[in-house]
Amino acid sequence: MIISERIIKVLKERNMTQAEFAKQVGISTSTISEWKKRKTNPTVDKIMDICNVLQITPEQLLTGKGIEDEEEIAETRPESKFTPGDVQMIEDYHNLKEEQQKRLMAYMEALKKIESLEDM
């Protein structure tokens, strides 16, 4: 399996669209199509960006070690359960002022209390 095939496999396992992936890596969707059609690989300067977005190591991307089995990836990298939306939410939270973060946390606590009351 070549690198581009591994990328497509991990995208499917992560339920990530090629458009989401392309945007996060900073490439065009046509680049991904070229990888698939021509069985070519990404450029070296994009390898680390790809690994960061897919939450895999360069070794996993280049050798395939640990990519063949999704459970193995999940065991070694529990954060792989986070969707791109989850990551975006955390980034947005960190961009808030401290007072806004406190209000948001209080709001989430209130929501959890309401939900637990509804479950009774």
End-to-end CA gap in the chain = 52
Closest CA to 9 of 102, 72, 78, 94: 72
Mean of all residue pLDDT scores within the chain: 82
DSSP annotation of 96 reads S
pLDDT of 43 strictly over 70: yes
Q: Is 50 in a helix, a strand, or coil?
A: helix
Share of the chain above pLDDT 70, in %: 87
**Rounded-to-integer distance, Cα 78 and Cα 72, Å:** 10
pLDDT for the residue 117? 77
Spatial distance between the Cα atoms of 50 and 43, rounded to a whole number of angstroms: 10
pLDDT for the residue numbered 71: 46
Secondary structure of residue 101 in the 3-state scheme: helix
Dihedral angle over CA of 59, 69, 52, 79, nearest 10:
-130
With 80 as the cut, is the pLDDT of residue 110 above it?
yes
pLDDT of residue 37: 85
Query: For residues 39 and 33, what is the distance between their CA atoms, to the nearest angstrom?
Result: 9
Q: Which residue has the higher pLDDT, 56 or 39?
A: 56
